[in-house]
Copies of this chain bind each other. A is one copy, B any other.
Amino acid sequence: MASRRNFIRTTTLGITAATFYPLINKGESAISKHPASASELPVGIADFTFRHFDIPQSIQMMQRLDIHSMSIKDFHLPLNSTKEKIDEVVKQYRDGDVTIYAVGVIYMKDKDAVDQAFDYARNVGVDIIVGVPNHDLIDYAEQKVKDYNIKLAIHNHGPEDKLYPNPQIAYDLIKNKDARMGLCLDIGHAQRAGVVPAKAVLKYGKRIFDLHIKDVTKAENDGKAIEIGRGIIDFPSFVKALRKIKYPGHCSIEFEKDMKDPLPGIAESIGYFKGVKAGTV
């Protein structure tokens, strides 16, 4: 641990030691790390949030944020990694008190990419792939889901996307497939596509395996990422809907504003979401 801290103190990638100072001390973490309410609608991080940071920096930010679950993105663990490399990286996160619960977003343009994604997920040890498969690969992916007993959660983008411009298109493709075929609902992209997140939750119900939560400035194509609570998404209704369907998965923040200095914005977003959870009955 000492060497990792030193590494971070000497990096010049836009984070100073001060940003991480002081580390959570043991006394505080014992109180703050696992409050009773954290087990309901647990907050995680979609690793895309940390695209400008390396693994130690990401871990330090998650420690400061008191977040301990993450969906890993391939820039921190390439899809073609050896099992040894995968084990090493998974251990690196685990040593930082971070559990990797899903992989993705993984783009799958051919059968080889599907094969690779499922082998990768099995080696990482997760039961969810957040993926963007070409439509003509859905049947092939379903077979892999059955063979590997790993869920595929199709991730929607916004109106500008050719494959999945909204979650409904993904839902229509998987609704009659194996029950382990479902969605990673990205509520920001959904809202930009005119899909109200709370309504989507109620509509897609048990087919929602993962969530990318965020806020946007407007419910239109050109809506921009913004701190959760400052935008136009109705979070109390969203939380109520998640409770209604007894959503069992993670609520993972994907923060895409100020990406070279995201910590304050992630913190505000996490705070807001937790506050809505606490306030909403």
Contacts of A20 in B (CB 8 A): 261
Interface residues on A, range: 35 or more
Stretch at the interface among A73-81, A113-121, A222-230: A222-230
Query: Is A270 close to B, CB under 8 A?
Result: yes
Q: Which of A17-46 contact B (CB under 8 A)?
A: 18-22, 27-28, 31-32, 35
> Does A194 lie at the interface of the complex (its beta carbon under 8 Å from any beta carbon of B)?
no
CA distance A280 to B280 in the complex (A): 6
- Chain A stretch 215-269: residues in CB contact (< 8 A) with chain B: 217-218, 224, 226-231, 235-236, 239, 258, 260-261, 263-269
Closest chain-B Cβ to A42's Cβ sits at a distance in Å of 14
Oligomeric state, in number of copies? 2
Q: For the complex formed, measure the closest distance between the CB of A230 and the CB atoms of chain B, giving whole angstroms.
A: 4
- The stretch of A86-94, A182-190, A271-279 in contact with B is A271-279
Beta-carbon nearest neighbor of A32 in chain B:
B230
* A224 neighbours in B (Cβ, 8 Å): 27-28
| Max chain B Cβ within 10 angstroms of own Cβ: one of A35, A64, A271 | A271
Query: Does A143 count as interface, using CB distance less than 8 angstroms?
Result: no
- Alpha-carbon distance between A15 and B19 when the two chains are bound, in angstroms: 8
- When C-beta atoms are compared, the residue in chain B nearest to A279 turns out to be B279
CA distance A21 to B260 in the complex (A): 8
B-side contacts of A271, CB under 8 Å? 227-229, 267-275
CB-defined contacts of A266 to chain B, threshold 8 Å = 264
- From 110 to 162 in chain A, residues with beta carbon under 8 angstroms from any chain B beta carbon are none
Q: Would B260 and A18 count as touching, CB distance under 8 A? A: yes
Looking at the assembled complex, report how far the CB atom of A225 sits from the nearest CB atom of chain B, in whole angstroms.
Answer: 10
B264 and A264 contact, CB distance less than 8 A:
yes
Known: A229-B278, A271-B275, A275-B229. A263 touches B260 (CB 8 A): no
Task: Kindly name the residue among A236, A258, A264 whose own CB sees the greatest number of chain B CB atoms within 10 A.
Answer: A264
A278 touches which of B15, B32, B235 (Cβ 8 Å): B235
Q: A16, A218, A275: which has the most chain B beta carbons within 10 Å?
A: A275
**A-B contact list, 30 entries, CB within 8 Å:** A14-B16, A15-B18, A18-B260, A20-B261, A21-B258, A31-B217, A31-B230, A31-B231, A32-B226, A65-B268, A66-B227, A66-B230, A227-B267, A229-B278, A235-B275, A235-B279, A236-B278, A263-B264, A264-B266, A267-B268, A268-B270, A271-B274, A272-B274, A272-B278, A273-B275, A275-B276, A275-B278, A276-B279, A278-B279, A280-B280
